[in-house]
């Protein structure tokens, strides 16, 4: 089990994409090194905080509606970009365009959401 956990941690650590998991109340529970690099926050500064801290203000309500819709949907994953523009917000307040996909996992009566996000500013 420990070897498996170490392997998983190594994979997360090497990923350049942001990998962020939240609990069913949308509080950040996992924030990998790619997320730290893209958003400018150290993981310990965001863990336990609402995911909406990484979303521009004008998109927060829409994000909450989309998560509620996704949580009821039968599909376990979806591309977020097909549902409109995705913008993230860095620690310094700057916004950036992104490609993202989201998945959900039901475990012990809770839903865990995981988003994989790629900064496409250079594109």
Read out DSSP for 13-52? HH-SSEEEEE-TT-BEEEE-HHHHHHH---HHHHTTSBGG
64: pLDDT strictly greater than 60: yes
Q: Which domains does the chain have, with CATH numbers?
A: 2-119 (3.30.450.20)
Residues forming a β-bridge with 114: 21, 103
State residue 4's pLDDT score.
Answer: 77
Q: Are 52 and 86 in contact (CB under 8 A)?
A: no
pLDDT, one tens digit per residue, over 89-104 is 999 999 999 999 999 9
Who wins on pLDDT, 89 or 106?
A: 89
Q: Which pLDDT band, with edges at 50, 70 and 90, does 119 fall under?
A: very high
pLDDT at 84 over 60: no
Q: List pLDDT tens digits, range 20-41.
A: 999 989 999 999 999 999 999 9
């Amino acid at each position: 089990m420990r070897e498996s956990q170490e392997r998983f941690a190594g994979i997360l650590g090497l990923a350049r994409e942001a990998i962020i998991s939240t609990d069913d109340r949308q509080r950040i529970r996992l924030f990998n090194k790619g997320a730290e690099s893209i958003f400018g926050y150290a993981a310990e500064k965001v863990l336990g905080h609402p995911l909406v801290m990484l979303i521009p203000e004008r998109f927060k309500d829409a994000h909450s509606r989309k998560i509620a819709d996704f949580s009821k949907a039968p599909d376990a994953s979806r591309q977020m970009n097909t549902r409109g523009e995705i913008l993230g917000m860095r620690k310094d307040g700057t916004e950036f365009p992104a490609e993202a996909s989201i998945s959900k996992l039901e475990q012990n009566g809770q839903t865990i959401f995981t988003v994989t996000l790629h900064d496409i500013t250079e594109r």
